[in-house]
């Protein structure tokens, strides 16, 4: 993996470029979404492996991140997962689900610390772990797809899917000031 420069990351996340913004030679690019994540607890809950509708890049301001990349495999000892496609309905946690195939997947872990970048394309599947005190700035690119993919454990002996993507009432609450 090559480490992008800050300028490369920002340009890749931009849209609505305007040339000669007010004065000749001043060009402007609007950055779609920039979000900061801050982990205030020791992370014990697992985030289901998932993809995004957009490409993104992250910069670790403080702390440590473990990013697991998941890929399909033919290895017999790998675990089975049902692919669940999520169609975003405009607000965090609000989506429809469509079931896909059941496949074996495996993962590889990548560690990132303070001052390091990591990035992913919309079609990569990952799960993520943040150490307590970690702060990450997240640069979200324009939508590339209208669906993302989530992997849910499939228990073959019972032909049962363990749903790991349920949205709970405590999730995605807005801060009121």
Q: Which of 132, 143, 117, 141 is nearest to 59 (CA)?
A: 117
Q: Domain 37-161 carries which CATH code?
A: 2.60.120
Range with the poorest average pLDDT among 37-51, 106-120, 144-158: 37-51
**What is the rounded CA–CA span in Å between residue 107 and residue 92?**
26
φ/ψ of 22, rounded to 5, equals 75, -40
pTM of the model: 0.82
Quick one: tokens of 84? 């669940």
| 95-113 and 160-161 beta bridge pairing | unpaired
Q: Model confidence at 90, in pLDDT bands (50, 70, 90)?
A: confident
* Number of neighbouring beta carbons within 10 Å of residue 108: 9
CA distances to 22, 120, 137, 146 from 63, rounded to whole Å, are 40, 19, 12, 32
Q: What is the pLDDT of residues 54-80, one digit of tens each?
A: 999 999 999 999 999 999 999 999 999
Asked if 156 contacts 80 with a C-beta cutoff of 8 angstroms, the reply is: yes
Q: Which of 123, 140, 107 lies closest to 13 in space, CA to CA?
A: 140
- Judge contact between 55 and 15, C-beta under 8 A: no
In the chain, domain spans: 37-161
Residue-wise pLDDT tens digits, 101-138: 999 999 999 999 999 999 999 999 999 999 999 999 99
Strands (E) across 39-161 are located at 54-62, 64-72, 79-88, 95-113, 117-120, 125-130, 135-143, 147-155, 160-161
């Amino acid at each position: 993996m090559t480490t992008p420069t800050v300028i490369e990351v920002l340009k890749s996340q931009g849209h609505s470029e305007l040339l000669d913004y007010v004065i000749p030679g001043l060009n402007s690019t609007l950055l779609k979404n920039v979000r900061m994540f801050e982990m205030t607890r020791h992370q014990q809950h697992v985030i289901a492996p998932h993809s995004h509708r957009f490409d993104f890049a992250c910069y670790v301001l403080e702390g440590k991140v473990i990013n697991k990349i998941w890929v399909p495999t033919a290895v017999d000892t790998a675990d089975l997962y049902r692919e669940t496609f999520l169609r975003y309905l405009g607000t965090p946690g609000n989506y429809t689900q469509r079931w896909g195939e059941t496949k074996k997947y495996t993962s590889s872990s990548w560690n990132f610390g303070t001052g390091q970048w990591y990035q992913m394309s919309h079609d990569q599947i990952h799960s993520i772990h943040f150490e307590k005190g970690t702060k990450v700035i997240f640069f979200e690119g324009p939508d590339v797809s209208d669906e993302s993919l989530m992997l849910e454990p499939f228990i073959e002996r019972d032909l049962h899917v363990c749903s790991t993507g349920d949205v709970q009432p405590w999730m995605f609450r807005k801060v009121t000031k």
